Amino acid sequence: MYIIVVGAGNIGTPLIEIATEGGNEVVVVERDEDKAEKAAATFDCLVLNDDATVKQTLLEAGADRADAIITTTDKDATNIMVCLLAKELDIPDIVSVVHNPEHMSLYRQIGVNTMENPQRLIAEYLYRAVKRPSIVDYMRVGEHAEVFEIRVDEDAPIAGLTIQDAARENLLDGDTLIVAVERDGDETPITPRGGTTIHGGDLLTVYSGQGATPDVTDVFGHYEDH
């Protein structure tokens, strides 16, 4: 892929690293001279020390053949302007970081794929690690729902039961689905069915419409504060 990355700061730098290591053709646009020089010296890509909110800059970056543009600056106004120009230049995929949630609807109106402020996501992840240590990993879905990974305790209420039996005993409600089961000794995850038995030690991927609340995680043997 041909990818234009706008910004070589805390978010843009690891993105550039991942994109270049993935074998993509990457062009970086960074307004700050020091950051631009550092990116040019570190990564195997073209770096333009210029203003991405100027249409000519994006043309020089190869907007006419770009598959995607990703804006990572710390200013929503800059990101929005770049996205508008990218839309005008018919870049197929436009992705942007959003720092102020109030601006999310504006990005959607433009037709931009967005990612919420990564610093806040990291903060939430760290808070979750302390508040709910039983959760191995998680991802929010909409306002309340979450997909999370959790290890089943040997003495958990669900251990030894099939998914059907767990539902009959009201251990799993209609808003909680076990999506995948990873078990020691199995090379690939198990796609669970009603008759699949949950074992202690299994690593489950779970969808919960109410999120990974203690009421939900208690079923898997993790009795956290309510």
Dihedral angle over CA of 74, 19, 113, 115, nearest 10: -50
Cβ atoms of residues 150 and 135 within 8 Å: yes
Does the pTM of the predicted model rise above 0.85? no
Cβ atoms of residues 52 and 82 within 8 Å: yes
For the segment 102-140, what is each residue's pLDDT rounded down to a tens digit?
787 888 888 888 776 666 666 666 666 665 666 777 677
- 1-12 burial: b if 16+ Cβ within 10 Å, else e: ebbbbbbbeebb
- Domain 132-220 in CATH 3.30.70.1450? The answer is yes
**Topology alike, domains 2-115 and 132-220:** no
As a CATH number, domain 2-115 is 3.40.50.720
Domain assignments of the chain as residue spans, ordered by start = 2-115, 132-220
pLDDT at residue 128, as a whole number? 62
For the segment 21-54, what is each residue's pLDDT rounded down to a tens digit?
999 999 999 999 999 999 999 999 999 999 999 9
The mean predicted confidence, pLDDT, of the chain is 87
Write out the two tokens for 210.
Answer: 């109410």
Amino acid at 143: E
Distance of CA 105 to the CA centre of its chain: 19
